[in-house]
């Protein structure tokens, strides 16, 4: 099965024995952590060290997950991530958890969406997305970076 992609950001996830529940699957609560890992990777890739999370950053406002298939400890797991909508101070991200079984055949284990709000931690208020963040996101998502 070939999985087509409009996602340009991908991070590998190392599954651990502690991620497994009594049914032998990766517990569903771990998917949120996998999305967070992908989100942080995305912004570290685009903005690197210019981000000071103690001054300006993002707050997670909403998240949703659609579970498609169980993840197993023996699988190789990657999380794809992209910004799918930009507002003034908020933006939406989409996620896709892709797993490969021993035979190498990939399958989509889960998809998700989240809404983030740009936030000034020093003043304690939401802010417009900084212009240089917006420029880098748009350039990356259009294939320019």
CA distance 24 to 138: 40
What is the predicted pLDDT for the residue at 145? 60
pLDDT digits (tens, 9 = 90+) for 90-120: 999 999 999 998 777 899 999 999 999 999 9
Count of helix runs (H) and strand runs (E) in the chain = 2, 6
* Residue 124 structure tokens: 């304690």
Domain assignments of the chain as residue spans, ordered by start: 9-141
- Pair of tokens at residue 33: 């952590």
pLDDT for position 94: 97
Domain at 9-141, CATH class: alpha beta
What pLDDT score was predicted for residue 144?
67
Q: Which has the closest alpha carbon to 29: 75, 77, 63?
A: 63
Which among 89, 92, 93 is positioned nearest to 79, based on CA atoms? 93
pLDDT for 138 beyond 90: yes
Q: Would you give the DSSP letter of residue 69? A: S
pLDDT in tens, 70-79: 999 999 999 9
Task: Note the pLDDT of residue 1.
Answer: 45
- Given the DSSP bridges, would you call strands 56-67 and 76-86 parallel, antiparallel or unpaired? unpaired
pLDDT for 35 beyond 80: yes
pLDDT at 9: 95
What is the pLDDT, as a whole number, of residue 89?
96
Mean per-residue pLDDT for 58-87? 96
Tens digit of each residue's pLDDT (9 = 90 or more) over 5-15: 689 999 999 99
Q: What is the pLDDT of residue 86?
A: 96
């Amino acid at each position: 099965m070939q999985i087509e992609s409009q996602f340009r950001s991908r991070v590998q996830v190392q599954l651990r024995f502690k991620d497994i529940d009594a049914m032998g699957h990766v517990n569903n609560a771990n998917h949120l952590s996998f999305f967070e890992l992908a989100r942080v990777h995305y912004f570290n890739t685009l903005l690197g060290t210019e981000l000071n999370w103690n001054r300006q950053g993002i707050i997670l406002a909403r998240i949703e997950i659609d579970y498609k298939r169980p993840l197993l400890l023996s699988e190789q797991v990657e999380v794809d991530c992209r910004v799918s909508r930009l507002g003034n101070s908020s933006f939406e991200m989409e996620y896709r958890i892709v797993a490969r079984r021993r035979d190498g055949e990939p399958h989509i284990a889960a998809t998700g969406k989240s809404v983030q709000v740009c936030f000034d931690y020093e003043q304690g208020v939401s802010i417009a997305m900084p212009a240089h963040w917006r420029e880098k996101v748009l350039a990356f998502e259009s294939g320019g970076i």
